Structure 1
Amino acid sequence: MKRLVSIFLVFFMTFSLNGCNKKEEKDKNKTTIKMATFYSEKDQGSIYKEIVKEYEKQNPDVKVELITDFSEETKINETLSQKGDIDIIGLKRTQLIEFSKSGYLHDLSKIVESGDLTNRLYKICLAYGKYNGKVYGIGDMPNTIELFYNVDMFKKYGFNEPSDFNELMNLCKKFNSKKINPITIGAMDGWTLTTLFGMITAQTSGITELTSIYDSDIKSFEKVKGINQAFDLYGKIVSQGISKDSIDINYKQSVDDFIKGKAAMLPAGSWTVNLIEKSKPAGFRYDVFEMPIKFIDNPVSMVSGTGGQILSIPSNSKNKDKAEKFLQFLFSEDAQKIITQKGYFAPLMSANVGENKLKSKIKTHLEICDDNSIMIMDNMDEKMTEHTTRVLQEILEGRVKSSEAWERILKATFKK
């Protein structure tokens, strides 16, 4: 009996080792590409896990190593300028501009042309990856900036959706007369104010000029079209519609105030839908305006939006061909449906089907987005963004006049 057991164990061990050797041999024959995303593993990073799994299933000769939470500036710099250990990397808009200027990013124009992505993807996704006439990346999860409103509150008082700036101001006055806070915003998180400001600058200024003068001297920025008008409009909205106490609440608190009926409107990215849906009380009804508010008569762009993370291929990647093939798969129906199934908008227009009324409106707004819809802060360097955010907060607090805002920002940014 012992002899039989021994023979069986020897046979089992031999079979197992043989299987392991075959697996190791098989893995050696695979090409490994590395993808780094700044998304966390629990959130959007989990979407990429599923996409990678599906890609490996369809391409057994390739292994995709996914790295999440890859956002540290030093590591990104080292990867792009020295190491060459990443084949696909997720970047912010300002990073894309800086690294493409330094020659660290691979031109994806051929991928866009060969896959007819210009006509198949939302323009905002391609706009985020463009610089100096070339495409260095593609946005992966587009969003628009919206004005959410309390449907029942509007209905109760017989108020209609405002179509332009004057109607918005009149609406704020009406809510104030009812002792209702017109607009809630989490100004403690300064980016919420830059989001609101971006809605305005998309119409007054666009982004083309700011892109062309990126990293230029102070004189170039002094002449930016419509920027002072944008601060003037922002100042009036703050004065008529936003309480100074907003400086003491953050983004999540502003959403909480909105769903509890403490304010009539909430300016925020369309990604806020997910948070509202998780938090709203039973019976709470909300929507976004059918058409974006016209802040000026002849807007440069009607809608402000974001492209999400920008996917790029480093110039020093050792597997550019395989990386390009993965990107082509990423923007295919098979991969894009994974994004929509998780409740996000996909860059591929045809993948966003069967949405409810609210998401249909947001989708329409996404279709309106163009190259000038890029959020203004996503086209400013870190120093200018910091000072702009602070000045927007100071205007809300009543410590800075909107007429002095841009001059103050430029002086602080270019101070030596």
Structure 2
Amino acid sequence: MNFWQNFSRKLQEKKFFLWLFLFSSIFMPLFFNGCSNVRPHIKVAFDLDDNEWSIMRDKIIPEFEKKNKIVVEAIQVEKSDVLQLLKAMGSSKDTKIDIFLIDVKQLQEFVDNKMVEDISEFGQFSNKRINQNLIYDLYFGDRLYCVPLKINLFGLYFSNDKNNMINLSFPSNFRNFISAIKRFNKRNKSTNIVLPFSNKESIAIFIYQTILSSGGKPMDFGDRRTHSAFVFLKDLWNYASPASLKANFSNILDYIQNGTPNFLWGKFSSLKMGNTKKELLFVGSIDGAINSKTLVDADVLCVSKGSKNKGNALKFLQYLYSHDVQKLFYSDLNWIPLRKGVIGDIRGKKQYRIILRILRRPVYIKNEKDFKEFETKANDAFTRILIKKEDISKVLKDINEKAKKKSSTQDL
């Protein structure tokens, strides 16, 4: 090998090591620095429809990630599947889901199975920002295991023009409401009230709310206020449309499309009613007592027990309650705002003022097992009192005695 060939080879070797040195000096520190600053993340399981997912993925999550430098991995898991999924993860000692969405009726089961973290810290955050009435009934003693994402109310809708004809004033009580219905019926020769009586669950929810409105305890059929509730239901049944036996909370608003009902009892989850031919006003439950309460259904968010990202999970929950996000839920999804001041001046917003009144004393059904027991008793009472026309006192006494016998048998 001559001199020039040898020199050329050494020069190429030097260039190689020179480039290697430059690469290691410039790029390797960046690589290792990036690895040492991996962004924290949380995994969230939602059960949302397409429109809700669009808002969550396109507008809410990206902004949270940008502000907090936390990656959010959101997946779709049906509420009915969450418990089994968490149990499977628990058996592998690997809790991969940090936040999950369930129906509030499932909550007791998750608490009993120790699947949820205590997030009482959220209560401190929410004191001045959130309608506290929505939080109080979700506590188990001094522990808070969930917060609402979306709420639904149950109660009466009526048409504004029909209301003007009979001068109804809401909130009303049982007696005044029946009197108003009688006047309306006399003046118009008929009254068309659609009630959600096509399935057992809808019947049970309707009766549960009516007992709450009477100031009673839904699980106690021996209470005198429960008796008052069934007296009202029996009177109301006399004016119910035959369509009531086909209606439930899923389809009842469809009956307004053809303009037939004067009143209907449905679920309220949106501050906009959609394409209806009549202007409807939701007035909630009819107060039967001074201390009446309102049934609230909700999809609630929980933090998984043993989550290694509890702090970041709480940040995400707090973000969902921020003014901007709650306003987005209201403007884009028409959800009822859970934070104060989102709507602004409410003087011209009659429907929202009514909602605030309704939410003074909300109650959640947190135990699905207890509700199933109530559902059985309520449907028995419905059939015997409203359909078969049996005596109210006798039926309620019979149902209450059966419940006591069952309870004493289980205690043995």
Residue 380 of structure 1 and its aligned partner are, at CA, apart by 5.5
Contact 2:40/2:69, CA 8 A, preserved across alignment: no
Q: Whose radius of gyration is greater, 1 or 2?
A: 2
Distance 1:94 1:410 in 2: 26
Contact 1:142/1:345, CA 8 A, preserved across alignment: yes
Partner in structure 2 of residue 258 of structure 1 = 256
| Gap change, CA 1:35 and 1:225, over 3 Å in 2 | farther
Q: Cα RMSD between the aligned structures?
A: 3.6
The one-letter code of the counterpart of 2:344 is: V
Partner in structure 2 of residue 216 of structure 1 = none
| Gap change, CA 1:88 and 1:161, over 3 Å in 2 | same
Partner in structure 1 of residue 269 of structure 2 = 271
Q: Which runs of structure 2 are paired with 1:365-380 in the superposition (5 Å)? A: 365-366=357-358, 368-370=359-361, 373-375=362-364
Residues 362-388 of structure 1 show CA distances to partners (whole Å, capped at 9, x for unaligned) of 33224x423xx2155867635314414
Q: Which runs of structure 2 are paired with 1:143-158 in the superposition (5 Å)? A: 143-155=152-164, 157-158=165-166
| Gap change, CA 1:165 and 1:92, over 3 Å in 2 | same
Contact 1:138/1:310, CA 8 A, preserved across alignment: yes
Residue 129 of structure 1 and its aligned partner are, at CA, apart by 2.5
Distance 1:409 1:28 in 2: 63
Q: Does 1:323 align with 2:318?
A: no
| Gap change, CA 1:347 and 1:187, over 3 Å in 2 | same
Q: Does 1:51 align with 2:40?
A: no
5+ residue gaps, structure 1, are 1-17, 211-220
Residue 230 of structure 1 and its aligned partner are, at CA, apart by 2.7
Query: SS at 2:117's partner residue?
Result: coil
Q: Does 1:174 align with 2:164?
A: no
Contact 1:175/1:181, CA 8 A, preserved across alignment: yes
Residue 184 of structure 1 and its aligned partner are, at CA, apart by 0.8
The one-letter code of the counterpart of 1:374 is: V
Partner in structure 1 of residue 148 of structure 2 = 139
Q: Which runs of structure 2 are paired with 1:276-295 in the superposition (5 Å)? A: 276-278=273-275, 280-281=276-277, 284-289=278-283, 293-295=286-288
TM-score under structure 1 length normalisation: 0.75
Query: Which residue, out of 34, 37, 40, partners 2:48?
Result: 40
Contact 2:104/2:365, CA 8 A, preserved across alignment: no
Distance 1:228 1:348 in 2: 37
Contact 1:384/1:409, CA 8 A, preserved across alignment: no
Residues 230-280 of structure 1 show CA distances to partners (whole Å, capped at 9, x for unaligned) of 333333322x33235511334455323334332211122322654x423x1
| Gap change, CA 1:320 and 1:206, over 3 Å in 2 | farther
Query: SS at 2:196's partner residue?
Result: coil
Contact 2:166/2:180, CA 8 A, preserved across alignment: no
Residue 349 of structure 1 and its aligned partner are, at CA, apart by 1.9
| Gap change, CA 1:172 and 1:336, over 3 Å in 2 | same
Query: SS at 2:341's partner residue?
Result: helix
Residue 313 of structure 1 and its aligned partner are, at CA, apart by 0.9
| Gap change, CA 1:267 and 1:222, over 3 Å in 2 | closer
The one-letter code of the counterpart of 2:329 is: I
Of 186-195 and 71-80, deviating more is 71-80
Distance 1:73 1:29 in 2: 28
Partner in structure 2 of residue 333 of structure 1 = 323
Residues 24-59 of structure 1 show CA distances to partners (whole Å, capped at 9, x for unaligned) of x6798122311112x333154444333222211222
Contact 1:88/1:313, CA 8 A, preserved across alignment: yes
Residue 112 of structure 1 and its aligned partner are, at CA, apart by 1.4
| Gap change, CA 1:61 and 1:176, over 3 Å in 2 | closer
Q: Does 1:313 align with 2:322?
A: no
Distance 1:132 1:232 in 2: 35
| Gap change, CA 1:307 and 1:369, over 3 Å in 2 | farther
Partner in structure 2 of residue 11 of structure 1 = none
Query: Which residue, out of 207, 213, 229, partners 1:197?
Result: 207
Q: Does 1:397 align with 2:408?
A: no
Distance 2:252 2:297 in 1: 24
Partner in structure 2 of residue 164 of structure 1 = 173
Distance 1:187 1:375 in 2: 21
Contact 1:391/1:400, CA 8 A, preserved across alignment: no
Q: Does 1:353 align with 2:344?
A: yes
Residue 228 of structure 1 and its aligned partner are, at CA, apart by 3.6
What is the number of equivalent residue pairs in this alignment? 370
Contact 1:97/1:131, CA 8 A, preserved across alignment: no
Partner in structure 1 of residue 291 of structure 2 = 299
| Gap change, CA 1:176 and 1:128, over 3 Å in 2 | same
| Gap change, CA 1:152 and 1:293, over 3 Å in 2 | same
Of 142-151 and 41-50, deviating more is 41-50
The one-letter code of the counterpart of 2:370 is: D
Q: Which runs of structure 2 are paired with 1:79-90 in the superposition (5 Å)? A: 82=91, 84-90=95-101
Q: Does 1:387 align with 2:395?
A: no
Partner in structure 1 of residue 226 of structure 2 = 227
Contact 1:89/1:314, CA 8 A, preserved across alignment: yes
| Gap change, CA 1:191 and 1:110, over 3 Å in 2 | same
Partner in structure 1 of residue 198 of structure 2 = 188
Partner in structure 2 of residue 3 of structure 1 = none
| Gap change, CA 1:254 and 1:93, over 3 Å in 2 | closer
Residue 182 of structure 1 and its aligned partner are, at CA, apart by 3.9
Query: SS at 2:372's partner residue?
Result: helix
| Identity across matched positions, percent | 19
Query: SS at 1:321's partner residue?
Result: helix
